[in-house]
Amino acid sequence: MALLRVGAPDPDAARKAEEKHVANIMAKTFRTVMTKIESAGLPEAERAQVVARWKVLPREDYGRIRGMMEDWRGMPQAEVFHHAVTNWPEFMDRVKADLDVAWHLRQAGVVVGLAEALEGSHELMTAYLLRDADLLQYQRVAKRVKVKDPRTGITRIERKAGLPGRTHNWWTWRKPHLSLLRRYAHVALRMYLENRGLPDAA
C-alpha cells in the first residue's frame, strides 16, 4: 500500500537539502584533515583508533559548521572551508595579525563600532568582535629571557610577554580548531578571496 501525501511542497525543502549537503561535505573535509594529521607517524593499530574517532563529527562541531555557512552565505562555502582547514598555518598567521591590531587599538583607547567594522577593514571587524573580550587571555605567558647589555657585557634576566605564540595551549598552527574558525570566519573568507585574486566581500 502506498501513502499519498497531500498538500503543497515545502518551498524551503530544496534549500534545506542543499544546505545539509554542503554541511556534510564540510564535515567530511574536516574529518579527513584531522584523521590525516592525528594519524601521521602512528603505528597501524593507533592509526585505526584515530580513523574510528573521526568517523563521526561531534555535534557541537557540526553546529559550528552550520554557523560558518551563515557567515559565508552567497559564497562557495565548502571551498572557503576547505581552503582554511588545509592551509591552517596561514589562517592562524592572519588571525594573529588581526589580533595584534585589535590589541594596539585597545591599548590606544580606540573603540570600534559596528558601522566602522562593517565599512572598514577586516582588522576593524576583528577588533569589533573582540570588543568585550579580555585581550590578556590572548597574551603569551610571560617567560624569562636573558638579555645582555652591549655596553657592560652584563647579562640580566627579564620577563617578556606578547601576543600568543606557537606554543600556547589553544593557539596552534598544527591542526584546525572549528571554534577558532567559527569566530574568525571573516578572516577565512578574506584569505580565500585574496588567494584567488577576488575582491574582498567585507
pLDDT > 70 in the chain, percent? 64
Query: What pLDDT, in 10s, does the model give residues 50-75?
Result: 999 999 999 999 999 998 998 898 89
Query: If pLDDT is split at 50, 70 and 90, which confidence band does 179 have?
Result: confident
Whether 99 and 164 have beta carbons less than 8 Å apart is answered as yes
pLDDT at residue number 51 = 93
CA angle (103 as vertex; 185, 162 as ends), nearest 5: 105
195 residue type, one letter:
N
pLDDT at residue number 142 = 40
DSSP 62-106: HHHHHHHHHHTTTS-HHHHHHHHHHTHHHHHHHHHHHHHHHHHHH
Residue 115: pLDDT above 80?
no
pLDDT at residue number 167 = 41
